[in-house]
Amino acid sequence: MTTLTSSGVWAALQALARTERDIQLRERFVSDTARFAHFSLQEEGLLLDYSKQRVSTEVMDALRALWQVAHVPRQIAAMWSGEPINHTEGRAVLHIALRHQGEAAIRVAGQDVMPDVRRVLAKMRSFCADVHGGHWRGATGQAIRRVVNIGIGGSDLGPRMAAQALSAFRQTGIEVEFVANLDAADLATVLARCTPDDTLFIIASKTFTTQETMQNAHSARQWLVAALGEAAVARHFVAVSTNHAAVSAFGINPDNTFEFWDWVGGRFSLWSAIGLPLALAVGMDHFEQLLAGAYAMDQHFFSAPVERNLPATLALLEVWNTNFLGAQSRALLPYSQSLGLLPRYLQQLEMESNGKQVDRAGNALQCDSSPVLWGEPGTNGQHAFYQQIHQGGRVIPCEFLAVIEPDYALPGHHEKLLAHCFAQSEALMRGKTLAEAQAELGIAVSPAPTCEKAGSLAPYKVFPGNQPSTTLLLPKLTPYTLGQLLALYEHKVFVLGALWNINSFDQWGVEYGKQLASRLLPILEGRTPAEGLDSSTAGLIAAVQSIRV
């Protein structure tokens, strides 16, 4: 990163930022009536409007120069060729292989991984057909009517988010539920809706040792065994894992284990057998359309020049807002209830990947990396936190997502939804001056008493504006376009990691918390003494134990 931050391009961007801070977006639109055409992209059926970002042609040219200075094309080639670009764990990063549609081999350590990928996809298709067709039956002969996916992190957020996003495509006659939290309330409330005879559990854990997942799995197993006996486990549990020995010891038939590979990171694994609950929810045909959409975005990313490249453009805008305009967060605002879980999904994808301050050489970064990502579907968010964005005084770049055709067509809804979406981005860009607020209140024409009251209100109706935003339009929310959208963000994460020179594919901060939890558990359970703890942790444990005594 030292090379990038000390480059002439970086210095030029710093100088441009000092100039851009004094220019209002509304002035840009007045001086350039074709600004939308100059700062928008229509690629692969998607429309990305970034004309409301605080950028100029000079800024975009300088940002695109970073693409070459950071050798991003070379890093893309390294990923595609199966090099262990996750260098701290010595692993390749090839989630792109999971949705690869071509005949070309994709190799890891010289071995083509595509035959294994296709084999697992075929196994998923066969299993989904058995469940949907009523051929897979529980221990009492009942067809499966409810599926419960037990996982956490990447083994939960991806399929959970996508199942909600594609709810309009759900299979009839089957409900898919998700359990992730170690808090018993999560599992208990799901089990309360289930009956043992027609419930199937998917245990999703690569190592089959993840504490949260395995505690929930064993509790679900006890619930089932209490009702149907030990022999029922084999008909009501399947696994997505690489640990066949642990899966077998749990009582799951190894033939009912769906594998994935260590060159697939958890938060990039939706496209693998981790997506089995999604395939059960919407059908394997729709799951494969999801893969096709992601593959189309892969092809766009690998081939489009930087000035037409959607993931590159989003990444460069984030660098501009974070490293040059000083933004510390980004609001993701989907105007689609079906995409309501997308902010949570992208929190993990982006913040777990790039929330780091050490570069690939082990040195401290010389700039900020991933901003805090947060958001809520519109229009709900408008009645919650938009006030802060409009008048709170902080630079908060906003990303609006909308679909042109609704997935649920109730008359009178969608046009109003789009009107709100477009109005919010306009308001954030335009703002409202004191003079405009006064004119709106009729100060110039009102009698004196009204004029005095209006004058006192005018300052409260001033909006600074100049708040940067992008709007991404999808033609319709389908499995294919959802695949495009998610792959778009995956590649954006990759580009940012390349620009900031960080490893986007490890998560040692997550591992550290797990280590400490393992040390504290026997103390909380009273099996070991509370020794070597800081006073806060010791005091909290003592408070818990004193109440339980």
- Whether residue 422 is predicted with pLDDT greater than 70 in this model: the reply is yes
How far is the C-alpha of 389 from the C-alpha of 205, rounded, in Å?
39
Q: What sign results for the dihedral spanned by CA atoms 52, 54, 59, 63?
A: negative
Catalytic residue among 87, 383, 413, 416: 383
- Whether residue 94 is predicted with pLDDT greater than 60 in this model: the reply is yes
CB burial of residue 153 (10 Å; 0-12, 13-18, 19+): buried
Output the pLDDT for position 455.
65
Sorted by sequence, the CB contacts under 8 Å of residue 265 that are 6+ apart come out as 86, 93, 95, 154, 505
The strand order across the sheet containing 372-375 reads: 40-43, 46-49, 469-476, 398-405, 329-334, 372-375
How far is the C-alpha of 420 from the C-alpha of 231, rounded, in Å?
55
* pLDDT mean over 18-22: 89
492 within 8 A of 311, measured Cβ to Cβ? yes
User: Is 514 a known active-site residue?
Assistant: yes
pLDDT digits (tens, 9 = 90+) for 360-412: 999 999 999 999 999 999 999 999 999 999 999 999 999 999 999 999 999 99
pLDDT digits (tens, 9 = 90+) for 102-144: 889 999 999 999 999 999 999 999 999 999 999 999 999 999 9
The confidence band for 275, taking pLDDT boundaries of 50, 70 and 90, is very high
Output the pLDDT for position 1.
44
Catalytic residue among 212, 352, 376, 399: 352
* pLDDT mean over 341-359: 97
| Alpha carbon distances (Å) from 196 to 137, 144, 146, 171, 444 | 12, 10, 10, 21, 73
The confidence band for 511, taking pLDDT boundaries of 50, 70 and 90, is confident
Output the pLDDT for position 452.
58
Question: Residues 456, 458, 460, 465: what is their CA dihedral angle, to the nearest 10 degrees?
Answer: -160
**What phi, psi does 98 have (nearest 5°)?**
-70, -25
pLDDT digits (tens, 9 = 90+) for 54-81: 999 999 999 999 999 999 999 999 999 9
Going by their DSSP bridges, the two strands 146-150 and 199-204 should be labelled as parallel
Structure tokens at 79: 């990923």
The confidence band for 460, taking pLDDT boundaries of 50, 70 and 90, is very high
How far is the C-alpha of 224 from the C-alpha of 238, rounded, in Å?
14
**What phi, psi does 9 have (nearest 5°)?**
-65, -45
**What phi, psi does 239 have (nearest 5°)?**
-130, 150
456 within 8 A of 415, measured Cβ to Cβ? no
CA 326 to chain centre: 23
How far is the C-alpha of 442 from the C-alpha of 411, rounded, in Å?
37
Produce one character per residue of 328-352: b if its CB has 16 or more CB atoms within 10 Å, e if not. Answer: eebbbbbbbbbbbbbbbbbbbbbbb
233 within 8 A of 220, measured Cβ to Cβ? no
Which position has the higher pLDDT, 16 or 448?
16
User: Is 420 a known active-site residue?
Assistant: no
Beta strand extents in 58-208 (DSSP E only):
107-108, 111-112, 146-150, 175-179, 199-204
**What phi, psi does 138 have (nearest 5°)?**
-75, -175
User: Is 352 a known active-site residue?
Assistant: yes
CB-CB neighbours of 515 under 10 Å: 8
Sorted by sequence, the CB contacts under 8 Å of residue 95 that are 6+ apart come out as 264, 265, 268, 269, 271, 272, 490
Element housing 333 (H / E): strand 329-334
pLDDT digits (tens, 9 = 90+) for 322-344: 999 999 999 999 999 999 999 99
- Whether residue 450 is predicted with pLDDT greater than 60 in this model: the reply is no
- Whether residue 215 is predicted with pLDDT greater than 50 in this model: the reply is yes
Tokens 């898919």 appear where? 176
Output the pLDDT for position 246.
96
Closest Cα to residue 116, out of 264, 265, 296? 264
Closest Cα to residue 294, out of 55, 95, 43, 534? 95
Residue-range domains of the chain with CATH: 2-69+304-429+469-498 (3.40.50.10490), 103-289 (3.40.50.10490), 432-465 (no CATH), 512-548 (1.10.1390)
Output the pLDDT for position 449.
47
Closest Cα to residue 47, out of 318, 329, 313? 313
Going by their DSSP bridges, the two strands 46-49 and 107-108 should be labelled as unpaired
How far is the C-alpha of 200 from the C-alpha of 205, rounded, in Å?
16
